[in-house]
Structure 1
Amino acid sequence: MKIKTYLCGGYEFLKRKFFFISWISLVLFLLCNTFIYYKDEQQFFYVRRILGLGLCVSRATASVLNLCSALLLVPFCKKLNQFLYRIISKLWPTLFFYWLEKAKSFHMTVAITLSIFAVVHSASHFVNFWNFSRGYDEEWTEINFASYKDENPLWLLLSVAGITGVSMLLIVLGMSATSTRVVRRNMYNVFWYTHQLYLMFMVLLIVHPLSGVLKEEVVNSEASLYSSHIDPWSNNVTSEAIPKFAPIQSKTWCWIAVPLTCYLVDILWRILTRNRAKIEILEVAHMAGRVISLKLSCPDLEFKCRAGQYVLLQCLDSSLIEWHPFTVVKVPTENQRYFIVWIRVKGDWTDALEKLLLYTRPNTLNILVDGPFSSPMEGVSWCEVAICVAAGVGITPFVPVLHHMLQNPRSRFPGRVHLIWIVRSENELAWLADLANKTILQLRTANRPDRLHLELYVTKDNVQTKAHTVSIDEKGSLTHVVRDNVTDDEKTTLLTPNKRSPYTKAESRNSCDVIKEYPVLGCRVLRGRPYWDRVFGFWVHFYPERHLNLYCCGPKKLVKALRHKCGYTSSTTKTKFTFVHESFS
């Protein structure tokens, strides 16, 4: 029994880490193969005699850098992904949505690999500059990079290869430093602007090897047969012909030609198809938790969007180059030519947008839209059983599903939806209270009450109430005031999962108007956080030996916990869970 459990656990581990193991294997194969090639081939004997293993390390890491630079652009070809969606989603939708869900992880893995090997590659070239200076070959002067023996290696950095190499290293380190979660959360503009340097990095990557620093011997077939038995590291090499040298031909363009072309075509495609006309803000609503609801007009009659998709928005009054993704909360229809997005004010761009919406008239702002684009959350609309978990504003991908169920209570898909929403305060329930209440009543009327199973968790006790006020002072800056209406003894405490319970009548006296106005939701509101062992146990008992998709949109801790819980439950029970996650940050 234990052996079977270990085998199942190992299988699940390999299944979860398949992509990571495949990537590491590909990188190690490319690294070792290139290293051995430059270590053993005859044409590199003379330059290898000067540089030693530095030649092999620099060329091996260069091949990995070429691979990373090429694949780093693939996840950002949004129009290409849309094209693939139309083809693959009809034949194998699971594969396409798996790619969309793993696109961010794929980009991060490739970027980390690029950063590590960029440092190693630069260090190996610094050693090569030292060896070029100290190991100056006076017999074959054309193979040298230094002008004379013991030349200062720092002067070699002033060459085209040195300047472009240092510039690329600084760009990579800058993008890596600004990609950390702390910088992205607090200074998104810095993260955005540094990543715009990647096109400059690609140009430098093509120019970098063209200077011909490393040279190889031009070997003909007869010379190859003559010297094939000679040890490539030996100094006793004799040949009837005088060796001729030529710069090592760069193959960088072969690596990045196709992905770079796809990326540039994708950008041009998006620019040409992007509607440059003004998108009108039809309505603005400031909701609890500093969330803004924007009702926007459709750019044209061809603008179509499906549940779970997202758009990119740009406010020209705030930034001329920044585009930010937001999930469409209400998709446009033939009769209603508008769509709605919810924006949580968190960061410099959203803070500037909130200020513009308060300080100026919303219909005067210049808003552009790009998209819509596919998302892993589209799979919710096509599941027989969809398990959805959201926290805070992460509820946005699942709101269109409720709209669809309200308008089509007897439709086949989605069959049954289990929706768990975790919020901090009861006031945030107002975002979804009216829609959820209408959907539940409509499903009851259509004799489909079991189609939606809704659980709402409030992590803070509602005894404490906070008033959040936004105002603009004389200087035009935003002022946020949070006023507590309770004493120190009544501070909010996070309840443990075992102590959560539905709201009672006595507690509803101090609750917000959401519970009072929508009594249907009152029995579905629980205090504290979900007890995941009980929740997953219910799903396993209710759907024995089924394969379920769990869609999650929320903070990193929640995603990590649910991902681990899905893997553990799949390995210990006959009910299998596939974890699907969406995150833009």
Structure 2
Amino acid sequence: MGSFLANEGLSIVVILVWLGINVFLFVHFYMAFLIDRWFYTRAILGHALSWARAPAACLNFNCMLILLPVCRNLLSFLRGSIQCCSRTAARQLDRNLTFHKLVAYMIAFHTAVHIIAHLFNFERFMDAQLEANMSSLPHVLSLIGNKHNESFLNPIRNNQTSPTIVMFTTVAGLTGVVITLALILMITSSMEVIRRSYFEVFWFTHHLFIIFFIGLVLHGIKRIVRGQTLDSLKKHNPITCHSEFERWGLDQDCPEPKFMGNPPGTWKWVVGPMFLYLCERLVRFYRSQQKVVITKVVMHPSKTLELQMKKKGFRMEVGQYVFLQCPSISQLEWHPFTLTSAPEEDHFSVHIRLQGDWTEALYIACGGDRTRLQEAWELPRIAVDGPFGTASEDVFRYEVVMLVGAGIGVTPFASILKSVWYKHVQENTNVFTKKIYFYWLCRETQAFEWFADLLQSLERQMIAKDMRDFLTYNIYLTRWRDTEAAHFRVHHEAENDPITGLKQKTLYGKPNWDTEFSAIATNHPGHGILGVFLCGPTLLAKDLEKQCLKQSQAGAEFIFNKENF
């Protein structure tokens, strides 16, 4: 129970508070449109009025939140400010994209309710205008406003139109269509299969948020939904006068009611987050103008491009990531990559897996398709934004650590292991971490090549310093061909592994996480909290999170951390 609260307790509280605010706003604004001021509007629309206005209030609230989780500089600042006080609170900021998605789904839900309710509203507005029955209150209300300088209630002003025409000829209707289409495109292009295979599609469609927010602010500017004015309510009580509508204007106690819409208020909700996001983009633009020097380009056999760079004033911590832009490829696209260098090094580096048009273009721009060495002046200009904080920053705050990487997901742990190596070379005695368990899962043998050198250096260093027990690593090959299997069998008895060249032999298949967690918990019964760090797919994250909850025992509490960027 303690491990569950440590891993999920604060997240659950945050989600419950967020849901509670949504419920409160929905109920509050639903009831707010049941008062006397909206009596005559309800006479035409019924409860569909409240069903349209309540989700509109929730939309304002969630549109206020949607930009905050992607203000990365703000999150990095908050993370650095609060992690010294509360590691649990800082970890919640690492789930920023999860919360961003939840808010997006809530926006989609309230948008659907809002649209459906307004479809009913426009049908009823139209029916009231077409009714042509002077003994009908909705029709009489629809005729108010035909005289000069007279306020109206029904936005459909004649019977020669249709809801479709109104939809495309009014500000509310047109902006509603535009922001709905923008929302649909943003959500559908955010599906994982599109985001991973066609990142450019995701990137460009997501920038429709600019059109979305402009349309959102303008949506209610014409005050199309109207209620009785406060001055009119003092002279005309709808509860007593609605049945006397045939004598309105003739009877002093029931003058003709006056109507007016609420002033637009969406801008009050979103102006703050929009300003923060604008500052975020200005910071990115400033950083993009700073000079970045590519000091080394390495083409690894496993379709991985390594870039080593220098930038004045650049400071990093282990496990952080940056956004890269190559103007010669695209002036607009920025792509996130984990830093693989250590803070102790005089440069920073990234390893980029060739997957997609942008990475392929960068590979060619860096001379990957050429047989001769490329001169420094021939290398493309690179812009760097960051670094930004992640969960891996906390790795040295745990005495015992599990690092789990899958494929190229090993990159943040390259930075961590390099930093460990430098700390021990420099005989830094302030390292709190006493034990690291490292797991790396790969589908193909080529993926091991670029990282094996680092592991070999660490292995030699640990042996030289008599620290064999500090780092335990397990490398798993999850797929292999028959020819490779035959080669592995022949060389299995060799001193060094035939794939990695390490003393520790490569394992085949997938780890039994139940066994691994049980063994670690048994080995460290009195070491308090153990940190589990993952950079890998969602399915693996679910397995590890389950194990953290299941295997936590008295004195060995597992805390799960996952990379999200």
- What's the counterpart of residue 492 of structure 2? 507
1:67 is aligned to 61
CA distance in 2, matches of 1:200, 1:210: 16
Does the CA contact (< 8 Å) of 2:25 and 2:58 recur in 1? yes
Match for residue 115 of structure 1 among 85, 100, 108: 108
User: Paired residues, what number?
Assistant: 530
Looking at structure 2, the residues matched to 36 and 311 of structure 1 have their Cα atoms a distance apart, in angstroms, of 47
Asked if 1:99 corresponds to 2:93, the answer is yes
Query: Aligned in 2, Cα 1:150/1:44: closer, same or farther, shift over 3 Å?
Result: farther
Task: Give, in angstroms, the shift of residue 149 of structure 1.
Answer: 4.0
What letter corresponds to residue 92 of structure 1 in structure 2?
A: S
Encode CA deviations 1:207-258: one digit per residue, 9 max, x unaligned: 110011011212259839x959x499x7568954543222212221121121
2:401 is equivalent to residue 386 of structure 1: yes
AA aligned to 1:147 is R
The 1:527/1:337 distance shift into structure 2, 3 A limit, reads: same
**Residue in 2 aligned with 1:482?**
none
Tell me what 1:543 maps to: 524
Query: How many angstroms does 1:414 deviate by?
Result: 2.8
Match of 2:419 in 1: 404
Contiguous gaps of at least 5 residues in structure 1: 466-489, 493-502
Q: Is the 8 A contact 2:401 2:437 kept in 1?
A: yes
Change (3 A) 1:146 1:170: same
Output the CA distance in 1 between the equivalents of 2:382 and 2:480: 39
The 1:287/1:511 distance shift into structure 2, 3 A limit, reads: farther
Take 2:90 and 2:81, find their aligned partners in 1: how far apart are those partners? 9
**In structure 2, C-alpha distance between the alignment counterparts of 1:123 and 1:574, rounded to whole Å:** 54
8 A Cα contact 2:477 2:509, kept in partner:
yes
Partner SS state of residue 355, structure 1:
helix
Q: How does 1:321-470 map to 2 (within 5 A)?
A: 321-331=332-342, 333=344, 336-357=345-366, 358-359=368-369, 361=374, 363-409=378-424, 410=427, 411=429, 412-461=431-480, 463-465=482-484
Separation in 1 of the partners of 2:486 and 2:364?
31
Going from structure 1 to structure 2, the CA distance change for 1:574 and 1:31 (only over 3 Å counts) comes to: farther
d(CA) in 2 for partners of 1:426, 1:509: 18
1:103-143 deviations in whole A, cap 9, x for unaligned? 01100101111112212212222221111111234343311
Instruction: Tell me, yes or no, if the aligned pair for 1:133 and 1:150 is still in contact at 8 Å.
Output: no
Distance across 1 between alignment mates of 2:77 and 2:404: 29
Post-superposition Cα deviations, 1:285-343, rounded to whole Å, max 9, x if no partner, equal: 222431111112x221x11111111111011121110101111101354xx53211111
Contact 1:69 1:114 in 2 (8 A): yes
Q: TM-score, normalised by structure 1?
A: 0.83
Deviation by residue 1:517-557 (Cα, 9 ceiling, x = unmatched)? 43x233xx212110111101112212336322211111222
Q: Distance in 2 between matches of 1:425 and 1:9?
A: 35
Q: For the Cα contact (< 8 Å) 1:134–1:149, is it kept in 2?
A: no
1:12-31 deviation digits (Å, cap 9, x = unpaired): 98776444444333322221
TM-score, normalised on structure 2?
0.86
- TM-superposition CA deviations, 1:340-361 (whole Å, max 9, x none): 1111112222122223332474
Name which of structure 1's ranges 253-262 and 276-285 shifts more when overlaid on structure 2.
276-285
- Is the CA contact 1:437–1:521 (under 8 Å) kept in the aligned structure 2? no
Contact conserved, 2:126 with 2:159, CA < 8 A, in 1? yes
SS of equivalent to 1:254:
helix
Of 236, 260, 263, which aligns to 1:246? 260
Question: d(CA) in 2 for partners of 1:285 and 1:464?
Answer: 29
Relative to structure 1, is the Cα distance of residues 187 and 11 closer, same or farther in structure 2, using a 3 angstrom cutoff? closer
CA contact (8 A) 2:354 2:363 kept: yes
Percent identity, aligned pairs only, is: 28
Alignment counterpart, residue 575 of structure 1, candidates 548, 556, 559:
556
**In the alignment, which residue of structure 2 is the partner of 1:264?**
278
Once residues 118 and 415 of structure 1 are traced to their aligned partners in structure 2, the CA distance between those partners, rounded to angstroms, is 52
Q: Tell me if the contact between 1:426 and 1:511 (Cα under 8 Å) persists in the aligned partners.
A: no
- Tell me which of 184, 203, 206 is aligned to 1:173: 184
| Mean Cα deviation higher: 361-370 or 258-267 | 361-370
